[in-house]
Amino acid sequence: MDVEKTFDVHRIREDFPILKQVVNGKPLVYLDNAATSQKPQVVLDEMNRYYLEENSNIHRGVHFLSDKATQSYEAARKKIRNFINANDHREVIFVRGTTEGVNLVASSYARRFLKEGDEIIISAMEHHSNIVPWQMLRDEKGVKLRVIPMNDNGELLIDEYETMFTNRTKFVAIVHVSNALGTINPVKQMVNIAHRHDVPVLIDGAQAVPHMRIDVQDIDADFYTFSAHKMYGPTGVGILYGKRRLLEEMIPYQGGGDMIKSVTFEKTIYNDLPHKFEAGTPNIVGGVGFGATIDFINGIDFDAAIAHEEEVLGYATNVLSDIKRVRIIGTAREKASVLSFTIDGIHPHDIGTILDDDGIAIRTGHHCAQPVMIRFGIPATARASFAMYNTKEEVDVLAKGIHKVIEVLG
């Protein structure tokens, strides 16, 4: 099927005003979507509208505006619930982003239920945000971390993973799509394996949600967390999905307003889900913007957008593979969005600067995944990461830029 017929990338680009920008005299080629994606006009408009017409605090006012704001915020929660197919909107908790989602589960679930000597399984391709919270817990409680290894293509060794479970294994925390390698992990299968050992699983979905349809019930994830800003929404807001049974057992993450039913100096009764985990005035406009983001995605042919992204990634992989001295880092069979690479003898930081001179935005560095860099024996990579609005023409500009890097630095 020719995806360009059902998905008009040039039409979609019109929805993202920032893409018209000129950088260093060249049209912006934005290939840093794994860091954060750009935002469509409709999301910006909705956030502006909220501030112009509804701004007030939620869940507490009897007045008109507070009621409107609460409705908008809670409507967003329900849209997100439908988008990820959660069973119940009370299982959808607003957080600041994926990092906070992981920290919430580490604090409110793992700290409560895990004991010294218990084991947590993570993977070799985790982002720092799905390593450090568990290390903090290790240092505090004496739990152990076990790491699923990966092969040279950047694929987790699922057979090894299966053998890692012991009667002390109490939690699994894994990334759905690697931000450094692009690998799509077989999370449904991995959850199934963990559940055979009665172990709950948290999935870091930050890089997955923008690039594939997520059904948390189909995956059977116990926790699934992601950020709005990587999926065309605003920064500072994200979601922790959790199964209701687990969320009910957990202790609150932070204390404050909105997360209580009643407070006296003797006793506090916590609020029901999801508010039990949402202390204080939240990022209301972020939530409303997130709702608009879901509307935007639902308003396009998302499956065709995904197919288009796959085509662009495949094209980029071929084009860059053909350039002498370029090495692609992360060659898993199942990949999404991310193309990490190095150029023999040239440091990624220099690649980034020279590409920027041509208006090409990529990420260079360790991508907050230093263990991945160590695994591949490199200090850093250059990373192009694609979104639905990227084109093959932009890949050609990138390839031309890489030739220029080699020409300038020799």
Partner 1 sequence: MSALRELYQEVILDHNKSPRNFRKMEDATRTVEGYNPLCGDRYTVYVKFEDDMVKDVSFEGAGCAISKASASVMSAAVKGKTKAEAEALFAVFHKLVTGEPDPTQELDTLGKLAAFSGVSEFPARVKCAILAWHTLYAAMESNEEKVSTE
Query: Catalytic residue positions?
Result: 368
Q: Between residues 71 and 353, which has the closer beta carbon with respect to partner 1?
A: 353
Q: What is the smallest separation between the CB atom of 236 and partner 1, expressed in angstroms?
A: 22
Q: Residues 316-355 vs partner 1: string with x where CB under 8 A? A: ------------------------------xxxxx--xx-
Q: What is the smallest separation between the CB atom of 32 and partner 1, expressed in angstroms?
A: 14
In sequence order, the 6+-apart residues with CB closer than 8 A to the CB of 152 are none
Residue 408 interacts with partner 1 (CB under 8 A): yes or no: yes
- As a whole number of angstroms, the distance between CA 135 and CA 173 comes to 12
Question: Given the rule CB under 8 A, which of 89-97, 240-248, 291-299, 361-369 is the region that contacts partner 1?
Answer: 361-369
Query: Is the bond leading into 234 cis (omega within 30 degrees of zero)?
Result: no
**What is the C-alpha R_g of the chain?**
22
Q: Between residues 305 and 346, which has the closer beta carbon with respect to partner 1?
A: 346
Residue 400 interacts with partner 1 (CB under 8 A): yes or no: no
Q: Between residues 178 and 225, which has the closer beta carbon with respect to partner 1?
A: 178
Residue 360 interacts with partner 1 (CB under 8 A): yes or no: no
Q: What is the smallest separation between the CB atom of 151 and partner 1, expressed in angstroms?
A: 23
When binding is defined by CB under 8 A, the residue of 38, 178, 271, 364 that contacts partner 1 is 364
Question: Is residue 179 a contact partner of residue 148, using CB atoms and an 8 Å limit?
Answer: no
Q: What is the smallest separation between the CB atom of 147 and partner 1, expressed in angstroms?
A: 21
Question: Given the rule CB under 8 A, which of 241-249, 270-278, 363-371, 392-400 is the region that contacts partner 1?
Answer: 363-371
Tokens representing residue 272 in the block: 């029901």
Tokens representing residue 24 in the block: 């260093």
Residue 115 interacts with partner 1 (CB under 8 A): yes or no: no
Residue among 190, 157, 159 nearest 173 (CA): 190
Q: Between residues 280 and 379, which has the closer beta carbon with respect to partner 1?
A: 379
Question: Given the rule CB under 8 A, which of 93-101, 129-137, 247-255, 362-370 is the region that contacts partner 1?
Answer: 362-370
Q: Residues 369-388 vs partner 1: string with x where CB under 8 A? A: -x--x-----xx--------
Q: Between residues 40 and 348, which has the closer beta carbon with respect to partner 1?
A: 348
Q: Between residues 32 and 54, which has the closer beta carbon with respect to partner 1?
A: 32
Residue 398 interacts with partner 1 (CB under 8 A): yes or no: no
Residue 366 interacts with partner 1 (CB under 8 A): yes or no: yes
Q: Between residues 162 and 350, which has the closer beta carbon with respect to partner 1?
A: 350
Residue 357 interacts with partner 1 (CB under 8 A): yes or no: yes
Q: What is the smallest separation between the CB atom of 347 and partner 1, expressed in angstroms?
A: 4
- As a whole number of angstroms, the distance between CA 375 and CA 125 comes to 9
Q: Between residues 5 and 410, which has the closer beta carbon with respect to partner 1?
A: 410
Question: Is residue 256 a contact partner of residue 280, using CB atoms and an 8 Å limit?
Answer: yes
Q: What is the smallest separation between the CB atom of 384 and partner 1, expressed in angstroms?
A: 17
Total residues interacting with partner 1, rule: CB under 8 A: 18
- As a whole number of angstroms, the distance between CA 123 and CA 147 comes to 5
Q: What is the smallest separation between the CB atom of 343 and partner 1, expressed in angstroms?
A: 12
Residue 71 interacts with partner 1 (CB under 8 A): yes or no: no
Q: What is the smallest separation between the CB atom of 380 and partner 1, expressed in angstroms?
A: 5
Write out the residues near partner 1 by the rule CB under 8 A: 346-350, 353-354, 357, 364-366, 370, 373, 379-380, 408-410
